[in-house]
Amino acid sequence: MFIALVILHSIMCFAIIGIVLLQAGKGADIGSAFGGAGSQAVFGSMGTPTVLGKITTAIAILFTITSFSLAMLGGERASSVVREAPARSTAPAPSAPSATPSPGGAPAPGAPAPPAPAAPPSPAPASSAPAAPDPTSPAPAR
């Protein structure tokens, strides 16, 4: 049903464009632009409705109905692009001790010890297969 509505909606789009372009403009002469005797109202005189005017009204109403129908059906199919935020715990986070070094260059008392340097990478094996990356070495910069 969704695909049928999309096809019908597309056909009505082109039908409205074609029918509106076929209609003659009301008060299209230069005299009506400056308030000449030809213009009776803001948008020109209404006169009797033409067949093209009635067809345009009918297609515009159907176009509006299919637009709302597609919006309602599309809302059921769509999923949110916003991911749900993970639940936050209500317990306060533990405070981290100060990591500022003391003036002598040694770490302050109570500060965590600096991490040990990583071991140098081992030499590559003699086999022709590529070696797996060492998980302890940092990733190469790109």
Q: How far apart are CA 16 and CA 64, in angstroms?
A: 12
What is the model's pLDDT at position 10?
Answer: 95
Q: How far apart are CA 37 and CA 142, in angstroms?
A: 74
More confident residue, 24 or 86: 24
pLDDT, average across residues 57-86: 82
- Give the pTM: 0.44
55 pLDDT more than 80: yes
By the 8 A CB rule, do 56 and 23 touch? yes
CA quadruple 82, 87, 90, 96: dihedral, nearest 10: -80
Six-digit token string for 115: 């991490």
Q: What tens digit of pLDDT does each residue of 121-138 get?
A: 666 556 555 566 666 766
Element housing 122 (H / E): none
